[in-house]
A and B are shown apart, each in its own frame.
Chain A
Amino acid sequence: MRIVIIGNGVAGITAARYLRKLSDHEIIVVSEEAPYHFSRPAMMYVSMGHMTFDNTKPYEDWFWKKNRIELVHDTVVAVESLNPQLHVRLRSGSTIDADTIIFATGSEPAWFGWTGEHLPGVQAYVHKSDLEALERNVQGARNAVVVGGGLIGVEAAEVLHARGLHVTMLVRESGFYRRVFPAEESDIITKHIAAQGIDLRLSTELDQIVGGENGGRVDHVISSSGECIQADVVILATGVKPTIELAKRTGLNTDRGILVNDRFETSLPNVFAIGDCAQFEHGVEQLWYAARAHGEHVARVIIEGAGPYARGTYFNSAKFFELEWQVYGEISADCDSITSEYWSELQPTRCLRIAHRNGVVIGIHGIGVRLRQDVCTAWIGKGVAIDVVRKNIQSAIFDPEFTRKVTV
């Protein structure tokens, strides 16, 4: 059997690795973005000079040949289904016949048709090409505007700040990441970002982007409050949407993403979709960790006929400049003193919150505190009483040796 995977992000590559572990089938991965898989979350470290682009590749280049995973650096222009045979047509003109296809096309920036969004100097920060665009755009630039108060937004702000630009951030919510964070946590992060020297404009959206003379490069943006903010670079980090253009042309059923069941099966036989581009009954799951889990499970479905993909206890993590955040289970923006226990230091750069329902823990997250995933998910999975969590909290702390103790 020949399996073709479209996309070499973490979803596609994890699928390829597990397909190889579980089978002897022919595996071909096609990517237009980069010849080799790289870690997307590491992009920012390249832009800040912490790492070279080569350092972001999790596997040495010989790995693929040794594991008989064929890499094709090309664009898929069409997928044809002549049941049961599938054909993948490439821009270079060649065609790959396939028995099974996995769409792992990821996502792309979601922009909202702002005036001036295509001016030179305006970019996203999602793909490898954005990494290269940033290198060009920061040359000689002094002021930058980042639109969006999410995880990509804060990364973009950190990168531009590290490159010596004055950064203004437009955030729709009243506090940073307030859509996800309870008020206290949002406040800690908001203050921390401001303390780094970022000009944070809360409850502010983008109105339009204005170019310089002769319709050239971006010159300034106008905010929803009518304010004029100088900008030589603008990063639009207002979220991402599934990349489904190819899937649509292929005739797969789509909505926001490619519609799949809980075994990643699309509307066409032997065609699967995983990662950011897939939409389940409950919606899309655009999360790096989820994409990796999809990759593993789709391989089990294809090779072992595995059953439905079961999500474990939710988890995620991020870093806001110097502050690390880890979350397990449910922590919602409306957590308060009745539905959760909250601990923080006097001048807080560290905090911990344990959310509970009916006296049972449902979520734990920490800022500036590292938490053990196995301990936290076991507590949440078993529905342990809040008192037990409080009493045993030290066993969930993953901080480095000699770090000040957390006392709940």
Chain B
Amino acid sequence: MNYIELTVPDAMRNHGTMWSRWKNRGVPAYLLALVLTGFYVAIYWFPEPLAPFASLLDPLAQLLRGSVADRWFLYGTVYTAAVLVMGVRMLLRYRTQRYHVYRTLTLMTVQLMMSYLIPALLARMGSKEFYFSYFWPLKPEYLFPSNISALVQSDNGLLMFMGFWTITMTVVATPVLTYFYGKRWYCSWVCGCGALAETAGDPFRQNSDKTLTAWKIERWMVHSVLASVVAVTGLMWWANVDPASPVATYAQDVNKVYGFLIGSVFSGVIGVGFYPLMGARVWCRFGCPMAAVLGLLQKYASRFRITTNGSQCISCGNCSTHCEMGIDVRAYAQRGEDIKRASCVGCGVCATVCPRGVLKLENK
């Protein structure tokens, strides 16, 4: 089948996935990757050609934000629409599995409310455009001194709440929720990047690299990004505490470099642009510092794991093939071992595609 699926896919079946040129790195997949990459490059650095498209959204922008549509409104609208439309596809595809239905509905709702409508309404109210579903270190600036002090020292109740929210979510809720439920509470239920990956990215999940080499690269990269964001945040605070030091002059520049390389090139251009080539979790796996933090918590301080049902594994490899994070799930399952990997986002697809009911997501 070389056309985009317009029909309702069978529940949970993967018939023909590996022969689809869209889903399996054929020419259409490369073209799609080119279009997506181009879209991100345009949004970030060459927005002029997109202006006419943005202006089409003026009435909607006026309604929601009370201003004309800029490129970021265009981006947010396209992104949210992709999550919602492909979310419906996801709901149909996995309709027999409540876990997928619940988490997909949650992802769609969080994206629509917390990442689209509420920030727009905040902007309309003349308040700070704030994303309640993003935290440090995915949004490093939320813990920057400029941001924190402005929020916490504000006499506006709403801004104070934002300050309270961002600190509580980062310092308290993240470790506590991850302890009880694993990193999936965020990556597969809340996060906007996860929302796009789990909906628009679902057709491409099998393209993630499962080799040991990929795993090694992943660990180096994702932890390097985490180290960078810690360094950037530290620099910002240093510069804040000691504005006279030479560090202060570099801090802003270093932050800009991080924003360009990681925030724009990695999470945007590569992270979404490469969906059709490397699976939908390229950013989450190799780049996301939030995923790195959650991963460390998941590995060393969490009750979450994927359990293996005795010796029932038949080594077929459906789990590994369809793991978007490139985890070789079978390597554990066929040895009867539980899977406790830092990168696992708990999407639950391995357990769904397993033909012998061997895998179960558990908070033991």
Contacts and interface: CB of A to CB of B under 8 A. Distances in A.
A is bound by B: yes
Interface of A: 10, 39, 41-42, 45-46, 48-52, 55-58, 60, 162, 288-289, 292, 315, 317, 319, 322, 324, 326, 370, 372-374, 377, 398-403
B18 A49 contact: yes
A49 B309 contact: no
7 shortest interchain CB distances as A-B pairs: A373-B310, A370-B357, A42-B316, A402-B98, A50-B14, A41-B314, A39-B315
Contacts of A399: 360
A373 B312 contact: yes
B352 interface: yes
Interface in B82-116: 97-99, 102
Given A49-B15, A51-B321, A377-B310, A319 B316 contact: no
Given A48-B14, A398-B309, A398-B357, A288 B314 contact: yes
A48 B15 contact: yes
A45 B17 CA distance: 10
Given A39-B315, A42-B317, A319 B356 contact: yes
Contacts, number: 113
Given A49-B20, A50-B15, A289-B311, 10 more contacts: A42-B317, A45-B318, A48-B15, A49-B17, A50-B17, A51-B321, A58-B315, A317-B314, A399-B360, A401-B360
7 contacts: A45-B316, A51-B316, A55-B321, A162-B13, A162-B15, A322-B11, A401-B98
Contact of B334 (A45, A55, A58): A58
A274 B317 CA distance: 24
Interface in B313-346: 314-318, 320-321, 330-331, 334
Contacts of A56: 316-317
A348 to B, nearest CB: 15
A56 B315 CA distance: 8
A39 B321 contact: no
B49 to A, nearest CB: 38
B348 interface: yes
Nearest to B320: A55
Nearest to B316: A42
B349 to A, nearest CB: 11
Contacts of B330: 58
Interface residues of B, number: 39
A400 B19 contact: no
Given A48-B15, A326-B312, A374-B310, A39 B317 contact: yes
A338 B247 CA distance: 82
Contact of B352 (A42, A400, A402): A400
B356 A52 contact: no
B246 interface: no
Nearest to B317: A55
Nearest to B23: A49
A319 B316 CA distance: 13
A400 to B, nearest CB: 5
Given A58-B330, A370-B309, A374-B310, A51 B18 contact: yes
A326 B351 CA distance: 15
A237 to B, nearest CB: 18
Highest count of chain A CB atoms <10 Å: which of B19, B98, B317, B320: B317
Given A51-B18, A370-B360, A319 B355 contact: yes
B211 interface: yes
B332 to A, nearest CB: 11
A201 to B, nearest CB: 25
A380 B58 CA distance: 69
A398 B356 CA distance: 11
Highest count of chain A CB atoms <10 Å: which of B97, B102, B316, B353: B316
Contacts of A288: 314
A52 B318 CA distance: 10
B126 interface: no
A366 to B, nearest CB: 9
B22 to A, nearest CB: 13
A261 B330 CA distance: 33
B13 to A, nearest CB: 8
Contacts of A60: 211-212
B16 interface: yes
Contacts of B17: 49-50
Contact of B18 (A42, A52, A401): A52
Given A55-B320, A58-B317, A326 B356 contact: yes
Interface string B31-70: 0000000000000000000000000000000000000000
B81 interface: no
A50 B351 CA distance: 15
B159 interface: no
B40 to A, nearest CB: 29
Contact of A400 (B11, B13, B316, B360): B360
Interface string B282-320: 000000000000000000000000000111101111101
B361 interface: yes
Contacts of A315: 310-312
A372 B18 contact: no
Contacts of B352: 400
Interface string B178-216: 000000000000000000000000000000000110000
B309 A373 contact: yes
A202 B16 CA distance: 30
A50 B318 contact: yes
A403 B316 CA distance: 24
Given A50-B321, A370-B309, A39 B314 contact: yes
Contacts of B97: 400
A324 B357 contact: yes
